[in-house]
Amino acid sequence: MQIYICVKHVPDSAAHITILDKNRIEENVNFLLNPYDEHAITESIKIKDKYPGSEVIAVCLGKQDAEKTLRSAMAMGADRSILIASDALHDSIATARILKAAIEQDGNPGLIFTGKESIDSEGMQTQFRIGALFDFPVATNVVRLDIEADAVIVDTQMSGGIANTYEMTLPCVIGAGRGLNTPGYPTFPDVVKSKKKPVKKIALTDLLVETAHSSTNIIALEPLTQTRTPEEITGNAKEIALKIVNILKEEAKVI
């Protein structure tokens, strides 16, 4: 089985974000593999261990520098990867079309993984769009996955610790959630090995993807400014507690 993992090259969550030209960010910060995608890779490797002969392929639409993220994916165990190099910002509608075209051109997906969302644009939808384009079933925020001959059983995380259980036919699309597994850090030999694994580079124009009639475009980006002016609550434990109660009553009006 061929398992494709769609990975995204995103700014480090701790990075300081500077805005350029009103709607772009200064890209001179550390970029890395989207954290949810790590769970997708870890799960793919588990499936490969169960079904020897499977191939795990990481796919990324991103700038040239995204090769670094693909190397991380391969250090975590992906066999090879595909980079669709593009400096432009693509919305999830275009991204899904492009990823679909790249996967289709490359092989026969038995399973497609994504993270449940990317930590930069936080869109939560690319997995569903890929699924719809392939006409594959989709589950998102998957925290448990059991694979059988021609079906998968998944638990998806709902609110309040409740899970839904879905059965999906194969091939299908899985949006990995954080509870799915615990990604391990690659060892030094893994990193060395990943440097020798192949990265296929495709030009976006070679995929002949038609432009969708719908889109989402970021027209402005502003820093979220902090407007709070902290005020100290002083006293002993009892006095502090009493002051908090008063704030909750008089100001916040929640009790």
List residues near ligand FAD by CB under 6 A. 13, 35
Residue 192, binding choice from ligand FAD, other proteins, none, Cβ under 5 to 8 Å by partner class: none
> Comparing C-alpha atoms, which of 204, 229, 193 is closest to residue 75?
193
Q: Which residue has tokens 């090769």?
A: 67
Minimum gap (Å) between residue 13 Cβ and ligand FAD: 5
Work out which of 168, 174, 176, 202 binds other proteins, going by CB under 8 A: 168
Residue 120: which region, alpha, beta or left (left: phi > 0; alpha: psi -120 to 50)?
Answer: alpha
User: Does residue 149 belong to the site contacting other proteins (CB under 8 A)?
Assistant: no
Per-residue contact flags (x/-) with other proteins for residues 97 to 126, judged by CB under 8 A = ----------------------xxxxxxx-
- Exposed / middle / buried, residue 83 (Cβ in 10 Å: 0-12, 13-18, 19+): buried
Rounded to the nearest 5°, which phi and psi values hold at 124?
65, 25
Q: Which is nearer to other proteins, 80 or 179 (CB)?
A: 179
CA–CA separation, 116 and 32 (whole Å) = 16
Q: Which is nearer to ligand FAD, 35 or 137 (CB)?
A: 35
User: Does residue 200 belong to the site contacting other proteins (CB under 8 A)?
Assistant: no
CA–CA separation, 60 and 242 (whole Å) = 54
Q: Which is nearer to ligand FAD, 12 or 26 (CB)?
A: 12
Q: Which is nearer to ligand FAD, 41 or 147 (CB)?
A: 41
